[in-house]
Chains A and B, each alone.
Chain A
């Protein structure tokens, strides 16, 4: 069966520090991968999606970047965190577009102080 791992679960980082969140998927090949951000009490905002290794699409101009160095690995990064980067970050995967379920990881609670 397929599983998705996301870590760390919680993270407190000072303003201006770098960020690296990692997500891996097991049990499937060539998944579509996504990073979403959820601000407190709000919906899920799509940040990045990837259809294959090295292929990244950005949805919102921001202080973050994403990379996909391996088929089932998706990394969210920042060189210098801002206070506004605080939130709940969710990684997800799906087998296709337009008609398929997305499976979410357990999320990373990031607090920038």
Chain B
């Protein structure tokens, strides 16, 4: 089945700096890669996603890149703000087989004011 690995597990940056979180996946059939943000005590919320027919997607300060050959994808947050502090999860989904998202282990991002 699919296996998603996420790094780093914790990340501390200064306000205004950029943050990058990386994930790798194992199943070459995976075709959908969402990123979720989870604030303390709440359920995860989708912040951006990318499909396998696209190499990069951007939404304001957030961007995601996908390298299908290497089977890895990354989340980039620019001009970080204290409210970006949260746990971020990457995930991957395949059209067949295990019929649900497989999540990475999460990255705790702390933006220092």
- Interface size range on B against A: 20 to 34
Question: Of B6, B44, B49, B99, which contacts A104 at CB under 8 A?
Answer: B44
- Beyond A42-B105, A43-B89, A43-B106, whether A97 also contacts B100 by CB under 8 A is yes
Q: How many A-B residue pairs have CB under 8 A?
A: 68
- Total number of A residues with any Cβ neighbor in B under 8 Å: 27
Is there an interface contact between B95 and A99, defined as CB atoms closer than 8 Å? yes
Task: List chain B residues, Cβ under 8 A from A101.
Answer: 34, 46, 49
Where the two chains meet, the residues of B that have a C-beta atom closer than 8 Å to any C-beta of A are 6, 31-32, 34, 36, 41-46, 49, 51, 89, 93-96, 98-106, 108
Q: Which residues of A are interface residues toward B (Cβ below 8 A)? A: 6, 32, 34, 36, 41-44, 46, 49, 51, 57, 59, 90, 92, 97-107, 109
